[in-house]
Amino acid sequence: MEIVVEKMALIRENQNPKNTTLNLDIDWSVEYKDTDQRKIRYDIILKSKESWDLSFKIGGLLILNEFEDFIQKECSQILFHHACTILMNVISLTKNSNYELMNDVVSSTINL
């Protein structure tokens, strides 16, 4: 099976938590379309329940190989694992960072 990610969205109201360990209690759901085809459309949504206000959505395609059957429970578990990995990478990429820029005239700090 091939997993294709066509779009994703991360919605969060607050900055990343400042502690070094991030404990996310995730509620998730998967919706499938065209389950009788070799290419199955999916939308998976991950939402944090308590400590951090976060919504993450991925939409795309599952492309089944010639002799593979669509087994919803197994595909959902694989998509959940895949989405969690992507989410943690996106959180890591979007953390706040400070950079100090210096030239001959002005020195400034930029917060990203």
Backbone angles phi, psi at 35, to 5 degrees: -70, -10
Task: Assess contact for 2 and 30: CB atoms under 8 A.
Answer: no
* Three-state DSSP state, 84: helix
Beta strands 26-33 and 98-102, pairing class: unpaired
pLDDT of amino acid 63:
94
Contact between 87 and 56 under an 8 Å Cβ cutoff? The reply is: yes
112/1 Cα distance (integer angstroms): 38
What pLDDT is attached to residue 29? 95
**What is the CATH T-level fold of the domain 2-111, as seen in this structure?**
Bacterial Protein-export protein SecB (3.10.420)
Are 100 and 37 in contact, with CB atoms under 8 Å apart? Answer: no
For residue 102, which amino acid is it?
M
Domain boundaries, the chain: 2-111
CA distance 9 to 57: 5
Q: Residue ranges of the chain with pLDDT lower than 70?
A: 13-24, 50-51, 94-99, 101-112
Q: pLDDT tens for residues 3-31? A: 999 999 988 766 666 655 666 678 899 99
- Cα–Cα distance between 44 and 57 in angstroms, integer? 6
